[in-house]
Amino acid sequence: MVLSSSLVTIALALCSALGSNAAPPTAKPTTAVGKLPALGWNDWNADGCSISEAKVVAAANAFVSRGLKAAGYQYVNVDDCWALKNRDSSGRITPDPAKFPNGIASVATQVHNLGLKMGIYSDAGTNTCAGYPGSLGHEDVDAATFAGWGIDYLKYDNCNVPSNWTDAASPPGGNWYNSNSAIRYRQMTAALDKQSRPIQFNLCIWGQANVWTWGSQVGHSWRMTGDASATWSFILMAINTNSQHLSSVNFYSHNDMDMMEIGNGALTTQEQRTHFAAWAFLKSPILLGTDLAKLTAAQIAIITNAELLAFSQDPNIGVPAKPFTNAGSPSTSTPEYFAGKSSKGTHVFVINTGGSTSTRTVNFSSVPGLGSGTFTVHDMWTGKDIGKFTNSYKFSLASHDTAAFRLT
Ligand SMILES: *[C@@H]1O[C@H](CO)[C@@H](O)[C@H](O)[C@H]1NC(C)=O
Ligand SMILES: *[C@@H]1O[C@H](CO)[C@@H](O)[C@H](O)[C@H]1NC(C)=O
């Protein structure tokens, strides 16, 4: 008795020396939000560190005036550089008064008054990527601060990780959920769970630590790659990477292919169509990453396409379209043929990854769940039926464009 109680005392003393929570938290993300891929905007690709209340409120107003809210876009998300470099005397992150003179809560109220939701950014390290305060070790105070401001979405980045938090080559028991990376994110999941306000949680972990194997136990979406760029090579790489991990995607569980670059750089119209269509049919979050006021009418038409958004946001079917082998088509380094179901039927998406316009033939018997026979082919881009076709449908597809069909 004496021996065992002193062992208990030693064990308790060790526990408190190691911190109050020796076992990492296992809290799961809320199911009050995050069922479908988030639709919204994030300032980073347009503004980098020069963010301000004026820019965020302008973006929120543009959601309404440019028809984005009506199309389903909801989240107005602030990225890095919104804070002061030092926490206040009570340990709270403080908005930079030069950028947000009325604080973040006031911006969130303005966003909410437009019927939209407000997102913010922090980091699972000592500092954010741009050197502002990170939330590692401050999860509870920061989650409470964000909830108190009326935040609805948290993008949680992966910069400035202390050396004792890096991962071994293989995590304990081979389970990446128990890696140090996952535990850094799990600490924030637990802190968010303590708040009365549900907050959608995005793990901006750049595809590290096999995040697709554990992401849905920790957050609602997780970044699969490094940062997007407005290039065709990035779009292909993101499609290729995500195509290998589509069994992780379902309700409350989304591979994040990063922000849209439509409006930035020199992507062709066809490349912009592929960028949007692939993010929609693979059920990635779609966060517009440009100055919304500068989008052309043609770009607005792409990003508000009702049928592609309906596929992304289908309330009954959570799984994405997946690559299939189309009989008669050559194999390509990035898959070109994808098929999936929606509440309205079977859909086929065809990407021309080649450098010139070419003829494509969808073989109905190759499409999972379809088979040979006669089907009405409907063009999701135009919203019109093309006609009835038996066994296959042949069409011309421009370089880097994506065709989107429903077959019934
Ligand atoms: C790293 O060190 C900090 C500070 O001592 C400590 O709080 C934390 O638990 C350590 N992390 C790991 C994974 O051991
Ligand atoms: C479609 O695929 C099937 C099975 O591989 C094949 O028998 C048929 O000839 C193909 N049809 C066309 C039009 O290529």
Quote the pLDDT of residue 371. Answer: 93
Quote the pLDDT of residue 7. Answer: 45
What CA–CA distance (Å, rounded) separates 50 from 78?
A: 11
pTM: 0.94
Q: Identify the band that residue 367 occupies on the pLDDT scale cut at 50, 70 and 90.
A: very high
Task: Judge whether 214 and 176 are in contact, CB under 8 Å.
Answer: yes
Q: Identify the band that residue 365 occupies on the pLDDT scale cut at 50, 70 and 90.
A: very high
The average pLDDT across 327-341 equals: 96
222-233 pLDDT tens trace: 999 999 999 999
State whether the beta carbon of 165 lies less than 6 angstroms from ligand 1: yes
191-200 pLDDT tens trace: 999 999 999 9
Q: Is position 291 annotated as part of the catalytic site?
A: no
150-181 pLDDT tens trace: 999 999 999 999 999 999 999 999 999 999 99
State whether the beta carbon of 24 lies less than 6 angstroms from ligand 1: no
**Which residues, other chains included, contact 213 with Cβ-Cβ below 8 Å and sequence gap of 6+?**
176, 177, 248
Quote the pLDDT of residue 11. Answer: 44
Q: Identify the band that residue 2 occupies on the pLDDT scale cut at 50, 70 and 90.
A: very low
% of the chain with per-residue pLDDT over 90? 94
State whether the beta carbon of 164 lies less than 6 angstroms from ligand 1: yes
Report which ligand 1 atom has the smallest distance to the Cα of 165: 13
In order of their start, the domains of the chain are: 12-312 (3.20.20.70), 322-407 (2.60.40.1180)
Residues framing ligand 2 (Cβ under 6 A): 327-328, 363, 365-366, 391-392
The average pLDDT across 247-270 equals: 97
Ligand of minimum distance to the alpha carbon of 20: 1
For residue 319, pLDDT over 80 is answered with yes
Sign of the CA dihedral with 171 first, then 176, 181, and 187 last: negative
What CA–CA distance (Å, rounded) separates 91 from 349?
A: 50
Quote the pLDDT of residue 352. Answer: 98
| DSSP-based three-state secondary structure for 374 | strand
Quote the pLDDT of residue 14. Answer: 45
Quote the pLDDT of residue 103. Answer: 98
Token digits of residue 117: 């939701």
Sign of the CA dihedral with 256 first, then 261, 267, and 269 last: positive
7-58 pLDDT tens trace: 444 444 444 444 445 699 999 999 999 999 999 999 999 999 999 999 999 9
Ligand 1: centre distance to CA 119 (Å): 28
Q: Is position 142 annotated as part of the catalytic site?
A: no
Ligand of minimum distance to the alpha carbon of 186: 1
Quote the pLDDT of residue 18. Answer: 46
Ligand of minimum distance to the alpha carbon of 371: 2
% of the chain with per-residue pLDDT over 70? 95
**Which residues, other chains included, contact 323 with Cβ-Cβ below 8 Å and sequence gap of 6+?**
243, 335, 337, 338
Ligand 1 pocket: which of 15, 18, 135, 164 to mutate (most atoms within 8 A of CB): 164
